[in-house]
Structure 1
Amino acid sequence: MSGIENTIIARLERNGEHFEVLVDPQKGFDYKTGARRDFSNVLAFEEVFKDAKKGERATAKALEKAFGTGDPVAAGKIILEKGELQLTTEQKRKAIVDKRARVIALVARVAVDPRTKAPHPAQRIENAMEQAKVHIDAMKTAEEQVEGVIEQLREILPISTENLKMEIIIPAQYAGRAYGALKEYGMSGEEWRGDGSFRCVCSFPAGMQGEFYDKLNKMTAGSVQTKTL
């Protein structure tokens, strides 16, 4: 089959049958990971196979039984969404590198060293991940994996994911500007006071404390009042 060398395979087992489709490597990866919503032109061939490398096509009857449709494009969409996508070596390497970096950043953002109440440095997190032999899944988002990674890191690092709860008072001249930013930090108990100042309570992961203070101090010229609850 011409052009097969420029494709990757998505495969799915259903009702005891094996189904495969050939997809464009980049478009298929983007669609599978949610970066692309449009399914048009994702399939390299509008065919569903029992064995793509051998060119053995699945019958319309088999598609109808497994997917409720004999349309190969509709069936192919289900195969890509629900099945396993065979990435190229370079795609897999890049995805793992990118997601590992994102996981490290997320761990530093949502977790702290309970001894110091400060985030662990990125290099320390990376070293601990190596020591714990953390596996990064190329097909899952970093956000989907970070909780499991933190659990593995507990065997290596003292680590806490507790939330901070803080009372915030913003002077009147900065209240409007700061309001939108505070919504990103679990804002509740909002109160506009008689002098025009704004009071609220924010709840967020302890690892974000430094980022939180930096942002508020910049927006209020250091005049924000905070109190840990």
Structure 2
Amino acid sequence: MISLDEAVTARLESHGERFEVLVDPDAALAIKRGEFDDDLEDVIAAEDVFEDASRGDRPAETALEEVFETTDPMEIIPEVIKEGEIQITAEQRREMQEQKHKQLVNHITRNAVNPQMDDAPHPPDRIESALEEAGFKVDPMEPVENQVDDALDDLRPIIPIRFDEITVAVQVPPDYAGKAQSRIRQFGDLEREEWQGDGSWVGVIRFPAGMQNEFYDLVNEHTSGEAETRIISDEDELSTR
């Protein structure tokens, strides 16, 4: 379960009665969209249905039976969320907006590059500043993924930006290959790999282009900077980084 501080109220009025439940805001939106497949108990603050959640008042069981044909809270809670309205305070809305804003900046930073600078990643501060200059406001009630395209449309007049993926070949010396390859291969999609006769490991990894610096840092950390990396172009020509 979640804490009361994390929860918002979902409210349904029906048959002259009011029903309220306390739920995680993101989970509530996922339930309304039919996209929720997690454990309901993990995203609610109380396994209960209220008439007034702020006072802890509960509706009569006869009212539950009349509206939902059951008194089981775990069956009723999703129905209240789906059919009702999600109530959030100004403070909850502000906190949700800040959280979604951070998620949006992180998503764009990890996936976007600057096409005018050899597809170098944009630092988070640059994305932050450009979003502020564009006046883009994150909708706290929408998933971040649904807002990325609108954010990019607002960013393009301000900074050169595009979403892309990159394919990098990396060769790890024998002294580091055993441990390093297990970490490197998890970074993105491992397209192919090969163990060399001298015990070194070669892998070809594809991942969001904005994560280049993070990838190189990982490789250097686990190989003491002795690995070789090459960017593979669309024409499969290798260019040394």
State the TM-score bracket (shorter-chain normalisation). 0.7 to 0.9
Offset of residue 95 of structure 1:
1.7
State how 1:1-229 maps to structure 2 within 5 Å. Answer: 9-11=9-11, 21-24=19-22, 28-29=24-25, 32=28, 37-38=40-41, 42-43=45-46, 46-47=49-50, 60-64=65-69, 69=70, 71-80=72-81, 84-116=85-117, 117-143=119-145, 145-182=147-184, 183-229=186-232
Q: Judge which range, 143-152 or 84-93, deviates more.
A: 143-152
Judged with a 3 Å threshold, the aligned counterparts in structure 2 of structure 1 residues 18 and 210 are, in CA distance, closer, same or farther, namely farther
5+ residue gaps in structure 1?
Answer: 1-6, 50-54
CA–CA separation in structure 1 for the residues paired with 2:18 and 2:180: 52
Offset of residue 137 of structure 1:
2.6
**Do 2:164 and 2:209's aligned partners in 1 also have CA atoms closer than 8 Å?**
yes
5+ residue gaps in structure 2?
Answer: 1-6, 30-35, 53-57, 233-241
After TM superposition, the score normalised by the length of structure 1 is: 0.73
Q: Deviations over 1:30-69 (max 9, x none)?
A: 75478985269734852479xxxxx9986634324xxxx5
- The amino acid across from 1:110 in the alignment is N
Offset of residue 169 of structure 1:
1.0
CA–CA separation in structure 1 for the residues paired with 2:177 and 2:222: 9
- Aligned-residue Cα RMSD (Å) equals 3.6
Offset of residue 195 of structure 1:
1.4
Offset of residue 92 of structure 1:
1.4
Runs of 4+ in 1 over 6 A off after TM superposition: 16-19, 33-36
- The amino acid across from 2:104 in the alignment is V
Q: Deviations over 1:53-104 (max 9, x none)?
A: xx9986634324xxxx564541223333675421222121112112212321
Identity among equivalent positions (%) equals: 33
Q: Specify the alignment match of 1:52 in structure 2.
A: none
CA–CA separation in structure 2 for the residues paired with 1:70 and 1:138: 32
CA–CA separation in structure 1 for the residues paired with 2:85 and 2:199: 56
- The amino acid across from 1:85 in the alignment is I
CA–CA separation in structure 2 for the residues paired with 1:136 and 1:217: 36
Q: How many residues align?
A: 211
- The amino acid across from 2:121 in the alignment is P
After TM superposition, the score normalised by the length of structure 2 is: 0.70
CA–CA separation in structure 1 for the residues paired with 2:188 and 2:215: 8
CA–CA separation in structure 1 for the residues paired with 2:16 and 2:128: 39
